[in-house]
A and B are shown apart, each in its own frame.
Chain A
Amino acid sequence: MRASAVLGEVWRDTVGGASRAVWWAAVLAAAVSLVAWADVRSVVSILRDAAAFRAGGGAVQVLKADGLIDGRRCDALAQTAGVTAAGAIRPAPATRLWSLPSSPVTSLEATPGFIALLAQVGQSVDQDASLVGGVWLSSDLAQVLGLAPGQVMRTAAGPAVVAGVYSWPDDGRSRELGYAMVVPVPATTAFAQCWAQLWPGDPSLDALPRLSLDGAVDPAQLSSGQLNPSLGRAHQASARLAARPTAWAPWAAAGVGLVLGYAATRGRRLELAAALQARVPRAHLVWQHLLETGLWAGAGMVVAAAGLLWGAAAGNPDPGWAVWLIGARSVAAGGAAALAGAVIGAVRTRQKDLWRHFQER
């Protein structure tokens, strides 16, 4: 049988509806979407929990050692693998504001690295990106003062520009920054605390902030802990991802695809048996049904993969691409297994099926 004749049969069966390509594409798309979505939403759910854990300060380790923290060393921790941000702070004399002369405002001096960490831990940060320097206010304080980023605040020491406002919800985290002003200073001096956000959480790295200590320090002078212990010791995102029940989704999708490919081909066994009796070589028949299945399986995969874009992105705190790839593995497994099922179905068909069918009627 010529290759063009095989392709012609594929085309006629597909366009004419003999292979019920639209139906099988829809069934495959629906089935693998169901499986892939279950997995993707499960992953998104874990990522959302992880993001909430990070945003709540659960991943931030705080080392307190008054006057013993090297600001530069602390900032440099952010370059370490497993540390997403790090910076140091120290208390500063309370700032007296013209608008609140009777209530000096808690002030903290912070390294540039700390300002970067604030953007990750301080939820809903509002920043005037055009400003270099300037002070940061907690949202509670900014609301009382009626100030927004870019505006100038009058203090006893002179005017100060508001560079940004950070939200510091009362969610169990340390309240030190809840009603405070953070003033960026060079990291070259000694600080009181070193904060480091460790992600993904690895308990063996919890002691990492100690690298910011300036020389040997008596352990009695140190204390350390989570910024927000109410969120649990560690999130264990990696472990939860690995242990999620839907991690088996590609196998489930492959099983579904195999059954569909087989069913679609075996459902046409009289047609296949008749083709064999019409002296169509089996290899050519297998190719024909592989290609016909490839067309509807390919269409089903495209539809499922397109739908998965939304499933991977909706509510995902991270870029959806990585999660989409996780779901796409299920889609690909389902489509590939459909091809395998079709081949098995075509190979298993015998001319005898035709005879048997009519004998059994």
Chain B
Amino acid sequence: MSQDVPLGKRDLSRGRGEPAPGRDPTHPGDTPPLKRVTAHGLGHQFAGGRRLFEGLELELRAGELVAVTGPSGAGKSTLLSILAGWTAPAAGTVTRQGVSHTGWVMQNPHGVPRRTALDHVALPLLARGRSRRQAAGEARDILARFDLGEAADRLFKTLSGGEAQRLMLARAVATAFDLLLVDEPTAQLDLGTAATVNAVLAQLAQADAIVVVATHDPHTRAACDRVVDLADHQPTSGRAATPTTDRATAPTTARLWEPSGSVAPDAATQPPDSPPWDTESQATAPTTATRPWDPPGWGAGSRT
């Protein structure tokens, strides 16, 4: 679905002449933006709890829309939290490259009740130096992509649940995150409303953003380019880690992970007080430590 979106539209959130983060402005167009999140041997369990998943190998690149699925309690939200750097994994490492702005779209839409939908989308554009007029124009275009053109001038408090959730997605696009994590975007919506969200989900895929959507909604899953099914990584299955599968295609094993090669990890695990967007406080290399509840051989991200 995302392939149907013209590139020009995808880049609406970025100003003319503004280089994408990670792209070398002196060599425009010669290489794709160097944004990548890689996970090796990722596993997690809560203190004293059962293990959620293990042996997860991931490589997430800018421009694709990846669904994380799995049964309830499989650790979908936890995986997002690990990818964001909020939660240290019990095992394995995560490296983030070229990711300085991480955004999160929650299950529950939130906004300023007395501000318009347009204001919500214009704010991140204003934050990056646009004039009010420029920001409003760009925001209207983005809103239209999320089927909110008619709702632009309505107050947030008058939006329906589906409209509000689509507004969250539109604002995320306007913010131009490097890594966008979407947690169960349709979980709080009825089927009909969820369909309106799923219909615009592909608009999230941007050339220079990594987008990961945790979901148990098959329609949301179908709207994504690729699926990571945590059911394939359950510790009780006894199976080795299996690769993730391409959406809508036969379960052939796609090339979903590869050695990170010369890519220098810019962050793996972070102390709890360092949000992933605090680039200055990011660790430059993963550190591991063993926690009391870890089984032998499990490494854990250090908590300092």
* A residues adjacent to B (C-beta < 8 A): 1-2, 4-5, 8-9, 12-13, 16-18, 268, 270-271, 274-275, 277-281, 284, 350-352, 354-355, 358, 361
Contacts and interface: CB of A to CB of B under 8 A. Distances in A.
A352 B171 contact: no
B127 A1 contact: yes
A278 B104 contact: no
Interface string B119-149: 1000110111111100100000000000000
Contacts of B111: 271, 274
Given A13-B115, A274-B110, A279 B131 contact: no
A16 B123 CA distance: 16
8 contacts: A1-B129, A5-B130, A9-B126, A16-B114, A17-B114, A18-B114, A278-B175, A280-B126
A8 B122 CA distance: 12
Given A277-B175, A279-B101, A270 B131 contact: no
Contact of A358 (B106, B113, B124): B106
Interface size class, chain B: 20 to 34
7 cross-chain pairs, A with B, having the tightest CB-CB distances, nearest first:
A278-B124, A5-B126, A280-B127, A18-B114, A358-B106, A279-B127, A17-B114
A18 B101 CA distance: 27
Interface string B74-113: 0000000000001000000000000001011011101111
Contact of B127 (A4, A16, A281): A281
Nearest to A358: B106
Nearest to B131: A2
Interface in B20-77: none
Given A4-B132, A5-B126, A281-B127, 8 more contacts: A1-B126, A8-B132, A18-B114, A277-B103, A277-B175, A280-B126, A351-B275, A352-B86
Contacts of B135: 5
B277 interface: yes
B151 to A, nearest CB: 16
A12 B119 contact: yes
Contacts, number: 74
Nearest to B132: A8
Contacts of A354: 104, 106, 110
Contacts of A350: 275
Contacts of B123: 9, 275, 278, 280
Given A2-B129, A5-B132, A277 B114 contact: no
Interface centre among B101, B112, B175, by most A CB within 10 Å? Answer: B112
Contact of B107 (A2, A281, A358): A358
Contacts of B128: 1, 279
Contact of B124 (A2, A279, A284, A352): A279
A352 B113 contact: no
Contacts of B103: 277
Contacts of B115: 12-13, 16, 18
B112 A18 contact: yes
Specify which of B103, B123, B128, B135 lies most central, judged by the most chain A CB atoms within 10 Å of its CB: B123
Contacts of A281: 127
Given A18-B112, A18-B115, A358-B108, A278 B127 contact: yes
B108 A355 contact: no
Nearest to B84: A355
Contacts of A270: 110
B108, B132, B135: most-surrounded residue (chain A CB, <10 A):
B132
B106 A5 contact: no
B113 A18 contact: yes
Given A1-B129, A2-B129, A278-B127, A355 B114 contact: no
A284 B135 CA distance: 17
Nearest to A280: B127
Contacts of A278: 123-124, 127, 171, 174-175
A317 to B, nearest CB: 49
A351 B85 CA distance: 13
A4 B110 contact: no
Contacts of A280: 123-124, 126-127
Nearest to A18: B114
A265 B284 CA distance: 35
A259 B171 CA distance: 32
A2 B174 CA distance: 17
Nearest to A275: B123
A12 B123 CA distance: 12
A5 B129 CA distance: 8
A74 B127 CA distance: 77
Contacts of A5: 126, 130-132, 135
Interface string B135-171: 1000000000000000000010000000000000001
A18 B86 CA distance: 30
Nearest to B110: A270
Contacts of A12: 115, 119
Contacts of B119: 12
A12 B126 CA distance: 14
B283 to A, nearest CB: 17
A36 to B, nearest CB: 31
Contacts of A4: 131-132
A15 B33 CA distance: 42
A288 to B, nearest CB: 11
Contacts of B110: 270, 274, 354
A280 B132 CA distance: 14
A361 B188 CA distance: 13
A286 to B, nearest CB: 14
Nearest to A17: B114
A351 B129 CA distance: 20
A355 B113 CA distance: 19
Contacts of A358: 106-108
A351 B181 CA distance: 14
Contacts of B101: 279
Nearest to A357: B110
A185 B112 CA distance: 81
Contacts of A351: 275, 277
